[in-house]
Amino acid sequence: MTSTAASKVSIEFNDKVVRQFMVASIIFGVVAMLAGVFIASQLNYHQLNLAEWLTFGRLRPLHTNAAIFAFVGNMMFAGIYYSTQRLCKCRMGNDTLSAIHFWGWQAIIVAAAITLPMGLSRGKEYAELIWPINIAVAVIWVVFAVNFFLTLHKRNEPSLYVALWFYIATIVTVAMLYIVNHLSIPTSWTHSYGIFGGVQDGLVQWWYGHNAVAFFLTTPILGIMYYFLPKAAERPVYSYRLSIVHFWSLVFLYIWAGPHHLLNTALPKWLQMLGMFFSLMLWAPSWGGMLNGLLTLRGAWDKLRTDPVIKFFIAAVTFYGMCTFEGPLLSIRAVNSLSHYSDWTIGHVHSGALGWNGFMAAGMFYWLAPRLWNTKLYSVGMANFHFWIGTLGILLYVVAMWISGIMQGLMLNQVTADGLALKNTFLDTLQAIRPLMGLRIIGGGMFLVGWLVMCVNLWKTIRSGTPVNEVREVAVLQHGKTDTMGMKETFFNDPTACTFGAMLLIFGWIFLPPGADIASLICACIFGYLAVRRFQKTSHTWANWYDRLLVNYLPFTVLTFVAVVIGGLIQIIPTITVNSAKNVEDRVQKLYEPLELAGRDIYVSEGCYNCHSQMIRTLVPDVMRYGDYSRLGESIYDHPFQWGSKRTGPDLAREGGQRPDSWHYEHLMDPRSMSPQSNMPPYAHLNTKAFDQKTLPRKIAVLRQLGVPYPPMDATEIKMKALEQGVKIATELKKSNIVVRPDSEMVAVIAYLQKLGQFEQPQVEESLTKKGQGVPFPLGPVIPDNSRRADGSQ
Amino acid sequence: MDSKKPAPNNEPTLRDHVYDGIQEYDQKLPNWWLCTLYLAIAWFVIHWLCYYQLGLGSSDTFVIDKAMAEMQSARDKQMASITDEQLWALSRDAAAVEAGKATFMTPGMCVTCHGADLSGMLSGAKLPGLPLNDQEWKHGGKPTEIFKIVRKGSPDITKGMAAWELVLGMKRVSEVVAFVLSHHKEGEPVTRAADSPPLAAAK
């Protein structure tokens, strides 16, 4: 490969942008963790919901967005910009793009920090930002992508190192996920309705949400691990072969795992099963990354004692291993029935976010700072202190959340001796976990203290040096043999043909009608056997093809995109055809009246979904506590869906009609007046504001566009309807000596809460004609659940 | 692979390509690791085959519908055995009344709306609940009628009392009713409120 080198040039890396991203990440790390400790405290001390814009519902999105996009985002960019330039032996593609990327990203973060506390939210987790900011994110991401691929294009190193594979997967996949999950139609400058609704929205949201974890918090950090860990350990990477297998299996399998956030819900069972099994299959590929990290240190374990960087990396990789073992475990439907909606999940994500991301970030920053400022680390002792207090903090946090989640789950499931009633109220279980929520504050606080110590340490380090941009002599690559692979060579070869062939047959097994499915499975087995035989005989041609692929960045990117796109297509497209009122055989949601819709938008904007689910699962304790299990059709008009992911408070799917309006009024004004010892923030401010009448007609018009069957109504009619209903509720409240404005947000929210759970039966002919039609177009496995219900359990 | 070095004395193969000082071994994949991958795949195939092709196992809705139906029939059986006389008898049973009082007085339960003295008042202010210590009964004053209101809530629960059966369970509901009845005498006159809904047969 040295033969391609003709001349040498001197190259100055753009290390300035690395320094900028690094400092931004450290600062936003403090912000994200402070917000975390604060909202954790709010759960135990409701008095900390100091003002309307400081309520838990509004700050929790701020915490998650700050942690993911501001803290880890900036850290990821720092790592990618530093390592890509060195692995490509050239300066970043374009300095202007680098600068736009940096400043654009920070502007987005500031915009998020302002809009989220204002209650401007799309109401989907980690996708809360409003549509103008969404567009900015997409644009900046494209700027980043162009900058990155320009760098690959002009690289002076023919072959792509494994870190770059992960960066490529990150850039391509995040763009796809982000754009699809944010498709929406604006109703004003600050509000929009997503184009998906109900179960469809749920599926798209968790396809996005789960893979935000995968492709924003995992793959780029794995890439960073592959660069910085061997650099710090000064040891060769454990196994190149393992890199290949775990990279491709990871990016292919991850995409499928989204439905494991919707287990035991109204989501069709075949999707739940795919989500569960792909999560289980994901365990090995994830651990492949951990092994390649840990085993790279073989022969360098002594450094663990002396070098804080190695300490952080090893702990991070270990937490990654723990977390990716826990993930598949939590994806098993039986385990999930206990763990879901509980603190266990919260503990799980924090062992990833603090342990894996937080410690990888710290290790990388300790390694980078002396190099970027040409100096020595100010204090190894402080770094060691950071390591220990951080580790203890995470462990305390995670263990507290394990106990809390399991305890609350078990308590919620407890029944009386005759088995006919529940033993504990929701509030009982909340009181039981309060000490554990207290421990969490301490654990998180310890991690924050460690982080602040790092800030001081790095500040002193930076002050003792001066910023330097590394300059290197590199051999210029002549682009004769690289980047010449065509479509044919990319797709028509043994490895891709065997992979796609086997995949096609497996999908045939899942989707084809009876008879053909088994035939397809048998063919898949035979095909798999032949493919393995072929691989054993001609493995060197496979290896040669892969070596060729590595010197061709575009074909590599195309194949990566194909690998990540398949899972989403197969899961989402059939669901899009299912989710229309015609296809729902059981129940259909009643349309929201204008006032109820206004109330719903307030519910979404206040972030109620952060604590209240609207999904009664097909589990006995859920049905006993909250009523009949939720059906697929009961939320089809919900843009966005509000199934939720955590029950800090009880489920609200059938809250409508359970209590008097006056109860809701008193409860919203001061939750503790009706539910003693509740930790819900007060919502007295709803009483003082009028709901937004002006945009209601536009909102209903947009929903009609999205397929919600509202009858044609003009603007006056809509406003009149809303006010009439408001007057009705206000009159009802008057009877209990409560005076409210009929146009207040309070009245709108009460109207919405009283509507929850109302449905009607779809027309009979439709459900009759549906039966016995053979395989319907909405592709799904051939034994639908309902036919089984008819002939009973076997 | 043309870029292989012969492996001297058990050292794994080191690929000779160097990326910014980083080299890679080319080791075989650990067997136990491959095993976990294969096992997960096999589990998927077998489970899917059993559920969708062989029809083993029941659907979620079938399981839950069956469980809830069984529970309902057990509840109905319990219900059928409860009479006015039994509830009056229970209201003279100190242990039951004490247990009922404990439930009644639990914050967030009955006491919130009906008051600790059952008067429906709290220091002069009217609470959402009706008084339970007088002889006027909006929904009927027979023990089984009171029992039904506690279980199912008022006929329109958005305008009255919530249903407590699922929260409390049959035993605690009957204890609470016993506690309320302990403030009354069997055979005392019962009047209906001016706004009483027409009486439905108490079940």
* A677 part of contact set with chain B, CB < 8 Å: yes
**Tokens at residue A463, please?**
């002050």
DSSP A417-486: TTSSSBSS-HHHHHHHHHHHHHHHHHHHHHHHHHHHHHHHHHHHHHHHS-----EEEEEEEPTTSSS---
Q: What is the pTM of this model?
A: 0.89
Taking CB atoms and an 8 Å limit, are B58 and A157 in contact across chains?
no
User: Is pLDDT at A41 greater than 50 in this prediction?
Assistant: yes
Q: Are residues B97 and B158 in the same domain?
A: yes
Give the angle subtended at the CA of B148 by the CAs of B122 and A755, to the nearest 5°. Answer: 75
Looking at chain A, the whole-number percentage of residues with pLDDT higher than 90 is: 80
Average pLDDT, chain A: 91
The DSSP output letter for A70 is: I
Q: Are residues B3 and B93 in the same domain?
A: no
Length of chain A: 794
Using an 8 Å CB-CB cutoff, list chain B residues near A83. 20
* A410 part of contact set with chain B, CB < 8 Å: no
Residue B154's CATH number: 1.10.760.10
pLDDT in tens, A152-178: 999 999 999 999 999 999 999 999 999
Residue A598, pLDDT score: 96
Of B37, B53, B57, the CB nearest to A518: B53
Half-sphere exposure of A589 (CA within 13 A, CB side): 28
Taking CB atoms and an 8 Å limit, are B20 and A86 in contact across chains?
yes
Residue A185, pLDDT score: 96
Using an 8 Å CB-CB cutoff, list chain B residues near A649. none
Residue A787, pLDDT score: 39
User: Is pLDDT at A653 greater than 50 in this prediction?
Assistant: yes
Q: What are phi and psi of A606, to 5 degrees?
A: -75, -10
Least confident range from A48-57, A248-257, A459-468, B154-163: namely B154-163
Nearest chain B residue (CA) to A793: B58
Using an 8 Å CB-CB cutoff, list chain B residues near A236. 14, 22-25
Higher pLDDT, B24 or B78: B24
* d(C-alpha A345, C-alpha A338), whole Å: 10
Taking CB atoms and an 8 Å limit, are B34 and A284 in contact across chains?
yes
Q: Are residues B34 and B77 in the same domain?
A: no
Least confident range from A571-580, A584-593, A706-715: namely A571-580
pLDDT in tens, B5-31: 444 556 788 888 899 999 999 889 999
Q: Are residues B121 and B170 in the same domain?
A: yes
Residue B7, pLDDT score: 47
Using an 8 Å CB-CB cutoff, list chain B residues near A281. 37, 40-41, 44
In a domain, B194, yes or no: no
Q: Are A586 and A631 spatial neighbours (Cβ–Cβ below 8 Å)?
A: yes
Distance to chain B for A288, nearest Cα, Å: 8
Distance to chain B for A716, nearest Cα, Å: 29
Burial track A106-128 (b if 16+ CB lie within 10 A, e otherwise): bebbebbbebbbebbbbbbbbbb
User: Is pLDDT at A198 greater than 70 in this prediction?
Assistant: yes
* d(C-alpha B203, C-alpha B201), whole Å: 6
C-alpha pair distances (Å), A104 with each of A96, A216, A741, B27 = 12, 18, 43, 43
Least confident range from A309-313, A690-694, A785-789, B52-56: namely A785-789
Q: Are residues B90 and B38 in the same domain?
A: no
Using an 8 Å CB-CB cutoff, list chain A residues near B107. 676-677
Residue A186, pLDDT score: 96
Using an 8 Å CB-CB cutoff, list chain A residues near B128. 660, 662-663, 736
Q: Mean pLDDT, to the nearest integer, of A249-276?
A: 93
Choosing among 3.40.50.300, 1.10.1740.10, 2.160.20.10, 1.10.760.10, the CATH entry for A588-760 is: 1.10.760.10
* A521 part of contact set with chain B, CB < 8 Å: yes
* A244 part of contact set with chain B, CB < 8 Å: no
* d(C-alpha A619, C-alpha A155), whole Å: 56
Instruction: Tell me whether the CATH fold assigned to A13-475 matches the one assigned to A588-760.
Output: no
User: Is pLDDT at A578 greater than 70 in this prediction?
Assistant: no
Give the angle subtended at the CA of A117 by the CAs of A112 and A121, to the nearest 5°. Answer: 65
Taking CB atoms and an 8 Å limit, are A264 and B33 in contact across chains?
no
Query: Domain extents for chain A?
Result: 13-475, 487-583, 588-760
Residue window 18-37, chain B: list those with CB within 8 Å of chain A: 19-30, 33-34, 36-37
For residue A144, the SS3 value is helix
C-alpha pair distances (Å), B29 with each of A240, A296, B26 = 10, 14, 9
Q: Which domain holds residue B52?
A: 1-57
Taking CB atoms and an 8 Å limit, are A785 and B40 in contact across chains?
no
C-alpha pair distances (Å), B83 with each of A342, A430, B79, B123, B147 = 42, 37, 9, 36, 10
Residue A433, pLDDT score: 96
pLDDT in tens, A216-254: 999 999 999 999 999 999 999 999 999 999 999 999 999
Taking CB atoms and an 8 Å limit, are B128 and A732 in contact across chains?
no
Taking CB atoms and an 8 Å limit, are A239 and B24 in contact across chains?
yes
**What dihedral do alpha carbons A361, A366, A372, A378 form, nearest 10°?**
150
**Confidence at A5, pLDDT banded by 50, 70, 90:** very low
**Inter-chain CB pairs, A–B, below 8 Å:** 206
The DSSP bridge partners found for residue A471 are A12
In a domain, B64, yes or no: no
Using an 8 Å CB-CB cutoff, list chain B residues near A785. 59-62
pLDDT in tens, A655-694: 998 888 999 999 999 999 888 899 999 999 999 999 999 9
Of A270, A620, A625, the CB nearest to B67: A620
Q: Mean pLDDT, to the nearest integer, of A334-360?
A: 95
Of A264, A540, A789, the CB nearest to B1: A540
Nearest chain B residue (CA) to A782: B52
Taking CB atoms and an 8 Å limit, are B158 and A754 in contact across chains?
yes
User: Is pLDDT at A793 greater than 80 in this prediction?
Assistant: no
User: Is pLDDT at A438 greater than 60 in this prediction?
Assistant: yes
Taking CB atoms and an 8 Å limit, are A236 and B24 in contact across chains?
yes
* B94 part of contact set with chain A, CB < 8 Å: no
Nearest chain A residue (CA) to B160: A660
Q: Are A595 and A746 spatial neighbours (Cβ–Cβ below 8 Å)?
A: no
User: Is pLDDT at A764 greater than 90 in this prediction?
Assistant: no
Candidates A87, A420, A634, partner chain B, best to mutate (most B CBs within 10 A)? A420
Taking CB atoms and an 8 Å limit, are B26 and A620 in contact across chains?
no
Q: Are residues B75 and B118 in the same domain?
A: yes
Task: Report H helices in A263-307.
Answer: 269-281, 283-296, 303-306
**Confidence at A582, pLDDT banded by 50, 70, 90:** low
Task: Report H helices in A627-755.
Answer: 661-669, 671-674, 696-705, 715-735, 745-755
Higher pLDDT, B131 or B155: B131
* B171 part of contact set with chain A, CB < 8 Å: yes
* B46 part of contact set with chain A, CB < 8 Å: no
Q: Are residues B79 and B169 in the same domain?
A: yes
* Domain termination residue (choose one: B12, B31, B57): B57
Taking CB atoms and an 8 Å limit, are A421 and B168 in contact across chains?
yes
User: Is pLDDT at B155 greater than 90 in this prediction?
Assistant: no
Distance to chain B for A587, nearest Cα, Å: 14
**Confidence at B43, pLDDT banded by 50, 70, 90:** very high
Burial track A432-442 (b if 16+ CB lie within 10 A, e otherwise): ebeebbbbbbb
Q: Mean pLDDT, to the nearest integer, of A72-101?
A: 96
**Confidence at B126, pLDDT banded by 50, 70, 90:** confident
* Residue listed under structure tokens 């063919």: A523
Q: Mean pLDDT, to the nearest integer, of A106-128?
A: 96
Nearest chain B residue (CA) to A226: B22
Q: Are residues B83 and B147 in the same domain?
A: yes
Q: How many domains does chain B have?
A: 2
Q: Mean pLDDT, to the nearest integer, of A633-652?
A: 94
Q: Mean pLDDT, to the nearest integer, of A40-56?
A: 95
Nearest chain B residue (CA) to A263: B60
Q: Are residues B40 and B78 in the same domain?
A: no
Taking CB atoms and an 8 Å limit, are A418 and B58 in contact across chains?
no
* d(C-alpha A50, C-alpha A681), whole Å: 9
Residue A4, pLDDT score: 46
Taking CB atoms and an 8 Å limit, are B27 and A661 in contact across chains?
no
Least confident range from A196-210, A256-270, A613-627, B154-168: namely B154-168
Choosing among 1.20.210.10, 1.20.120.430, 1.20.140.10, 3.40.50.1980, the CATH entry for A13-475 is: 1.20.210.10
Residue A336, pLDDT score: 95
In a domain, B2, yes or no: yes
Rg (CA), chain B: 34
Distance to chain A for B179, nearest Cα, Å: 20
* B61 part of contact set with chain A, CB < 8 Å: yes
Q: Are residues B31 and B88 in the same domain?
A: no
Residue A775, pLDDT score: 36
* d(C-alpha A217, C-alpha A450), whole Å: 21
Candidates B37, B38, B152, partner chain A, best to mutate (most A CBs within 10 A)? B37
Predicted ipTM?
0.87
Residue A6, pLDDT score: 62
Taking CB atoms and an 8 Å limit, are A241 and B58 in contact across chains?
no
Taking CB atoms and an 8 Å limit, are B167 and A510 in contact across chains?
no
* Residue listed under structure tokens 């920070």: A106
Using an 8 Å CB-CB cutoff, list chain A residues near B79. none
Q: Are residues B19 and B73 in the same domain?
A: no
Using an 8 Å CB-CB cutoff, list chain B residues near A159. 17, 19
Using an 8 Å CB-CB cutoff, list chain B residues near A544. 1-2
* d(C-alpha A483, C-alpha A551), whole Å: 6
Q: Are residues B37 and B102 in the same domain?
A: no
* B170 part of contact set with chain A, CB < 8 Å: yes
In a domain, B189, yes or no: no
Please give the helix or strand (H or E) that residue A370 lies within, else none: helix A359-372
Residue B195, pLDDT score: 72
Q: Are A445 and A393 spatial neighbours (Cβ–Cβ below 8 Å)?
A: yes
Residue B56, pLDDT score: 84
Residue B5, pLDDT score: 47
Of A1, A242, A624, the CB nearest to B166: A624
pLDDT in tens, B168-197: 877 888 889 999 988 888 878 888 777 776
* d(C-alpha A247, C-alpha A257), whole Å: 16
